[in-house]
């Protein structure tokens, strides 16, 4: 008979007192078997000394509390299409023109950006979008991609988004 036990992960504070554990502090973990599975308690050294010895835990151990490492900055691949578009809109030049255009089309399709207008400016087609949530305006030049170029740009965008 397979049992599925859900045991909560280590807490960051004492179950008895509610006091947060300090980095490097030793504490005690107790597992109590109950009808529905196991119950976990994490106790500071003081609470461990003062606890009622009954009921006896199914298992217990002493361990050192260590603060989790700070989260690593998100890699570029974990950004959303919107984050990436914002970033590339701030960069001058046409280096990312193709990617900006595909990202804008993706966000239009997801109904994040609303096309407001398409204009010709000095012989260049410019798409004007409004962000549905914030009202921000995005002016995206159309790089006039040929059909045989689109797949390569889509793959570049997919790699950037992870």
> Which tens digits make up the pLDDT trace of 12-66?
899 999 999 999 999 999 888 888 778 889 999 999 999 888 888 888 899 888 8
**Which DSSP category does 78 fall into?**
G
pTM beyond 0.85, yes or no: no
- pLDDT tens by residue, 116-129: 888 887 788 888 88
Between CA 69 and CA 48 the distance in angstroms is: 27
- Whether the CB-CB separation of 33 and 58 falls below 8 Å is answered with yes
State the SS3 of 41-83: EEEEHHHHHHCCCCCCCCEEEEEECCCCCCCCCCCHHHCCHHH
Bridge partners (DSSP) of residue 137 are 130
């Amino acid at each position: 008979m397979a049992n599925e036990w859900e045991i909560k992960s280590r807490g960051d504070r004492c179950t008895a007192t509610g006091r947060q554990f300090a980095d490097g502090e030793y504490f005690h973990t107790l597992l109590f078997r109950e009808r529905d599975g196991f119950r976990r308690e994490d106790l500071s050294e003081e609470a461990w000394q003062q606890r009622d010895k009954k009921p006896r835990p199914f298992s217990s151990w002493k361990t050192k509390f260590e603060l989790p490492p700070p989260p690593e900055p998100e890699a570029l691949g974990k950004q959303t299409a919107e984050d990436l578009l914002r970033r590339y809109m701030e960069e001058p030049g046409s280096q990312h023109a193709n990617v900006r255009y595909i990202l804008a089309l993706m966000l239009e399709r997801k109904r994040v950006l609303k096309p407001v207008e398409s204009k010709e400016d000095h012989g260049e087609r410019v798409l004007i979008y409004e962000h549905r949530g914030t009202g921000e305006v995005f002016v995206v030049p159309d790089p006039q991609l040929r059909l045989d170029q689109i797949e390569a740009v889509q793959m570049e965008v997919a790699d950037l988004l992870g």
